[in-house]
Structure 1
Amino acid sequence: MKNLFATIFVWVISILSIFAQEEYVSKVWVADQGDGTYKNPIIHADYSDPDLCRVGDDFYMTASSFNCIPGLPILHSKDLVNWTLIGYAINSLSPEDHFSKPQHGKGVWAPSIRYHNGEFYIYYGDPDFGIFMLKSSDPKGPWTKPVLVKEGKGLIDPCPLWDEDGKAYLVYAFAGSRAGVKSVLLVQGMTPDGTSLVGDPVMVFDGHPDNPTVEGPKFYKFNGYYYIFAPAGGVSHGWQLALRSKNPFGPYEFRRVLEQGSTDINGPHQGGWVETPMGEFWFIHFQDKGAYGRILHLQPMRWEKGWPLLGQDFDGNGVGEPVSSFKKPVIKSHWPVITPPESDEFNGYTTGLQWQWHANPNINYGYPSGNLGFFRLNCRPRPENATNLWDVPNMLLQKFPAPVFRATTKVTFNHRFNGEEAGFIVMGDSYQYISLKQENDKLWIKVVRCKDARKGGAEEVLFKQEISNNTIWFRIEVHDGAICRFGFSENGRRFKVVGEDFQAVPGRWIGAKIGYFAVRDGIINDAGNVDIDWFRVEPIN
């Protein structure tokens, strides 16, 4: 009976947590303008390589998560403008040992999400291992463990198609860095259960030389044609193609359907389209915005003589360009203004869904404290021979949520031994943090920068001051252009800016992230920790 009560209790807490997430509204970026229009980006955060599907009146979206865990975020909307994060499809990556330390830029690449025969399917490529599939009857989970559909180094960006006759197909691409081949798309037969491929792969498109780096294909069938939507030209300066054929194996004709044109939206590509219950067509894609990551845009879509036109054809050349604002999609009923979560009071039995580790999680990294009202992050040993934090797995991080914002946190550092350190960090290929560290039996507040961390760069101390209070308020302000300013307070009211401004940079295929770390020198049986009271995102006054 006790086990039954415990199960019911956990279930109720989970439901309440999900409900609370859906009520969140950002203070720093809201796309819904409240007058029947929206502005782009619809999400000013790093949800790279998005794909989506519709089930009834509901839309579900996923995105690349690379080495960050939990992975494969699942977002939900009813109007394509207001999205909330409802969970993840992957809790750890395999092989477990391989992903127990940060594998920057590896892991989950360019997923696709589809609904078929009452189940949600996600396919993704791991460039080092092959193409995987997982599924669930409920988008909130639980999801099955990933099944290896096709083994192969450099196989990426898969997308399935189930045809009306019961046959199934998979389109995919190559990562040149692993396969030594790129800029071509393949279609191969698939078993109806989606677990394996059959027959020989057929090259259906060669991007050389006019459409180099063609990748990220999405497979559809509409009005008797098979369509493959695929970006080309590279992440920062590319465009969107549409291919069509009467046969899934081709031959395909193609045309460019979205480009930057006269707009300031670079690389408008890599995404998916849906038809709404009201008969409208829309396309979601990303824009590469450097340190802010690959942020999401929504484009109107219409059909002209069997071809899609995305965005608006401002110059009349027959190719769409991204819109900066537009009227919202028409839906059947009211859907509130909501956004993915950012702030976290750490008062519950779970952390906010926005947080991810830099590698597969370990219970020793940290845990929520329930009614005690904080998240405890334990000081874990620095990686052996490390010159910086690049290989530290126990970083609790989230995406930048807006071009300009302030993040403030209150922490208590329960230090026990020399060499223990807990910090508030902006993480990327280069990083900067503000921290508390015990050295020579004294407590110090520090600002530290590391340039070219991925290449083994050394840390540089920009500011250091002895401090007596182990409860501190840290603050990071992110200004236009991802310029970051660091500060602290001993009373939560008066903040002192310290160190130097830092130009945030992206990580490996991801935007810069903000959050926490806790490390120590060597191994001991009772290391110190940091209790994170809260994390709040607000506008800069």
Structure 2
Amino acid sequence: MPITDKNSSASALFAMKRVAILSILCLLILAPMCGLRTRKFHSDNGDGTYTNPLIPADFPDPDVIRVGDAYYMVSTTMFVFPGVTILRSFDLVNWEYCSNAVPRFDFSPCYDLDGCNRYGHGQWATSIRYHNSTFYLLFITLDEGGFLCSAANAEGPWEIRQLPKGFYDPGLFFDDDGKIYVAHGYGDISITPLDEHFAPAGPDSLVYTGTIRHGLEGTHVYKIDGYYYLYCTYGGRDGIQVALRSRNIYGPYEEKIVIRDTVPGVTFGIHQGALIQTQTGEWWTILFVDSGPFGRFPSLQPISWVDGWPVAGVDGRGVITYKKPDVGKVHPVRQFPASDTFDDDVLGMQWGWNHNPNPGKWSLTQHPGHLRLIAGKVVENLREAPNMLTQRPFAHYDQAVPTMGTVKMEVEAMKDGDIAGLAVFQDPYAYIAVKREKGGMNLIMVNNGELVASVPLRSTIIYLRSILSNSTEKANFAYSYDNRVFQRLGNELKMRFSLKVFTGNKFGLFNYATQESGGYVDFDWFTMN
């Protein structure tokens, strides 16, 4: 059922509810007879099992810790802010947003799209640890160096500071004797001691050079039964997860493969992540899989120990459907928020701006119940446009079912040269939008910077839609004046996961100026189905 106008009458709402109830009853009665398939949106199967991917969306480079009965996961968000997203779970299967540790990143004008950008750069491969009642996040940016975030609670507030030295793919480690170390490197893995301010307290010591192939990275450090384990990956789409083991933090280390899944499918090339022990003593690992244009999806795998070495999956392969971890309790199924009616005075944690937002150019209060985007500085194209609000698309577990994003947009206050609409953003990108020029308005579709289609706009209230498929790697665009009958516009976007951007394709809501600033549009709601 489409979202209706927010000023709908009570009788209309009652009628809608009655239709919904009747629809549910019909489905309950007819579904078994019609052979309808349940559309699955989350990993938990509700019967004591789960199905990978753990989260069918772009949460790459996961690091995970347990603090008490709660599990916390951090992932890479790069140039998107609020970013450095923290997720929380109580059973390793059902996750929810906990916080975005870095609201904005004010360490370079490039994060403001001020003559430069940080596409493909920014924050990545964060290490999360909890020590002496404090949470720590250690990460690097390729251009600005190393940063440390700290907080008393994972929900925040977080404090961020720049470090005197950055470490590539850092693995922060607090040893039993109070000493602090970081493991880091690409190809060559080094250990560096840190002082209490997280500055180097000694030289980088090379402890291991990858032997299987080039590119050993993504190191996290654990101490288990007297051994130091460096949990590393040989990255790439056909990734390999390995463990290095030594009785001494500085080595010498020996290496074993944890998992090398070469069978095409949802666990192919599973790699890079964390080891976790539950409160009942079970061992698990959360890694990720390069999963197509939607990005890199986390995967939960059981760990068995063989002669003191961790082995992931079953019989050399990642599991797809498997029994849930034993955490001592049963927890409810959770689903990530995606749709938004913009009724709150703060944005939901599913949203992130493309680079830093300009706080004076967007509002949830100027037109309550709407997201207002005000065109800022004049730019040439969407890649340069400030204040594009983005969200990860979630894939369906049935890959035959595409993902659909729809917005309701009010465009009466646009100025000449303004372009506002709904994008699917990566490299290449495409969008469907309203463009105002010479006092008139047209609906346009742009694919990879080229105008593909244009038709006159017949109303200042418009519904825009994008339908995208992670399996076919294609996206289409359409519009409607009543949110029921949609007309396709333009051609297909062939989505890619380009390292020039290095995040999965995202939905984007935008309004940018090509002639003068100050025009605005109001987004009434956004839905993802």
Into which bin does the TM-score normalised by the smaller protein fall? Answer: 0.7 to 0.9
Cα deviation for residue 367 of structure 1 reads 1.7
Provide the rounded CA distance (Å) in 2 between the counterparts of 1:405 and 1:379. Answer: 28
Asked if the contact 2:286/2:299 (under 8 Å) is kept, the reply is yes
SS at match of 1:243: strand
Q: Which runs of 5+ in 2 are unaligned?
A: 1-37, 397-401
Q: 1:475 aligns with which of 446, 461, 465?
A: 465
Describe how 1:156-195 pairs up with structure 2 within 5 A.
156-173=168-185, 182-191=186-195, 193=196, 195=198
Say whether 1:42 aligns with 2:54.
Answer: yes
Provide the rounded CA distance (Å) in 2 between the counterparts of 1:262 and 1:421. Answer: 45
Provide the rounded CA distance (Å) in 2 between the counterparts of 1:270 and 1:518. Answer: 37
Cα deviation for residue 371 of structure 1 reads 8.0
- One-letter amino acid of the structure 2 residue matched with residue 161 of structure 1: F
Cα deviation for residue 74 of structure 1 reads 0.6
Say whether 1:131 aligns with 2:133.
Answer: no
Cα deviation for residue 149 of structure 1 reads 4.8
SS at match of 1:99: helix
The farther-off stretch of 93-102 and 76-85 is: 93-102
Q: 1:374 aligns with which of 357, 370, 374?
A: 370
Aligned partner of 1:466 in structure 2 is 456
Asked if the contact 2:403/2:467 (under 8 Å) is kept, the reply is yes
Q: 2:162 aligns with which of 147, 162, 176?
A: 147
Render the CA deviation track for 1:413-444: whole Å, top value 9, x for unaligned.
Answer: 13342111101000011111100111121111
Q: 1:516 aligns with which of 484, 495, 509?
A: 509
Provide the rounded CA distance (Å) in 2 between the counterparts of 1:146 and 1:342. Answer: 31
Say whether 1:492 aligns with 2:487.
Answer: no
- One-letter amino acid of the structure 2 residue matched with residue 203 of structure 1: L
Render the CA deviation track for 1:182-215: whole Å, top value 9, x for unaligned.
Answer: 4111101112x3521211111111115x231111
Q: 1:207 aligns with which of 210, 232, 239?
A: 210
Q: 2:98 aligns with which of 86, 109, 115?
A: 86
Q: Which runs of 5+ in 1 are unaligned?
A: 1-25, 174-181, 314-319, 451-458
Say whether 1:106 aligns with 2:121.
Answer: yes
Aligned partner of 2:268 in structure 1 is 266
Asked if the contact 2:366/2:372 (under 8 Å) is kept, the reply is no
Provide the rounded CA distance (Å) in 1 between the counterparts of 2:358 and 2:346. Answer: 15
Q: 2:286 aligns with which of 280, 284, 289?
A: 284
Distance 1:290 1:164, change over 3 A: same
Q: 1:417 aligns with which of 395, 399, 415?
A: 415
SS at match of 1:335: coil
Cα deviation for residue 35 of structure 1 reads 0.7
Render the CA deviation track for 1:258-310: whole Å, top value 9, x for unaligned.
Answer: 11133522321110011000111110011112211011100001111100001
Distance 1:28 1:421, change over 3 A: farther
Provide the rounded CA distance (Å) in 1 between the counterparts of 2:257 and 2:446. Answer: 46
Q: 2:434 aligns with which of 433, 436, 443?
A: 436
Provide the rounded CA distance (Å) in 2 between the counterparts of 1:104 and 1:419. Answer: 25
Distance 1:440 1:505, change over 3 A: same
Distance 1:111 1:240, change over 3 A: same
Cα deviation for residue 381 of structure 1 reads 2.9
Render the CA deviation track for 1:53-107: whole Å, top value 9, x for unaligned.
Answer: 0001100000111111111001000011110012111112241423111310111
Asked if the contact 1:147/1:195 (under 8 Å) is kept, the reply is no
Provide the rounded CA distance (Å) in 2 between the counterparts of 1:156 and 1:290. Answer: 25
Cα deviation for residue 523 of structure 1 reads 3.5
Provide the rounded CA distance (Å) in 1 between the counterparts of 2:168 and 2:497. Answer: 22
SS at match of 1:200: coil
- One-letter amino acid of the structure 1 residue matched with residue 198 of structure 2: T
- One-letter amino acid of the structure 1 residue matched with residue 151 of structure 2: S
SS at match of 1:199: coil
Describe how 1:10-409 pairs up with structure 2 within 5 A.
29-101=41-113, 102-151=117-166, 155-173=167-185, 182-191=186-195, 193=196, 195-207=198-210, 210-232=212-234, 234-264=235-265, 265-313=267-315, 320-369=316-365, 372-383=368-379, 386=380, 388-403=381-396, 404-409=402-407
Render the CA deviation track for 1:11-57: whole Å, top value 9, x for unaligned.
Answer: xxxxxxxxxxxxxxx97621101111000001011111010100011
The farther-off stretch of 137-146 and 335-344 is: 335-344
Distance 1:267 1:261, change over 3 A: closer
Identity of aligned residues (%): 34
TM-score of the pair, normalised by structure 2 = 0.88
Asked if the contact 2:82/2:353 (under 8 Å) is kept, the reply is yes
Cα deviation for residue 476 of structure 1 reads 1.0
Asked if the contact 1:474/1:488 (under 8 Å) is kept, the reply is yes
- One-letter amino acid of the structure 1 residue matched with residue 187 of structure 2: S
Provide the rounded CA distance (Å) in 2 between the counterparts of 1:513 and 1:506. Answer: 11
Cα deviation for residue 379 of structure 1 reads 1.5
Provide the rounded CA distance (Å) in 1 between the counterparts of 2:153 and 2:310. Answer: 31
SS at match of 1:291: coil
Cα deviation for residue 352 of structure 1 reads 1.4
Provide the rounded CA distance (Å) in 2 between the counterparts of 1:150 and 1:88. Answer: 24
Aligned length: 480
SS at match of 1:198: coil
Provide the rounded CA distance (Å) in 2 between the counterparts of 1:256 and 1:333. Answer: 32
Asked if the contact 1:74/1:89 (under 8 Å) is kept, the reply is yes
- One-letter amino acid of the structure 2 residue matched with residue 47 of structure 1: F
Provide the rounded CA distance (Å) in 2 between the counterparts of 1:231 and 1:471. Answer: 50
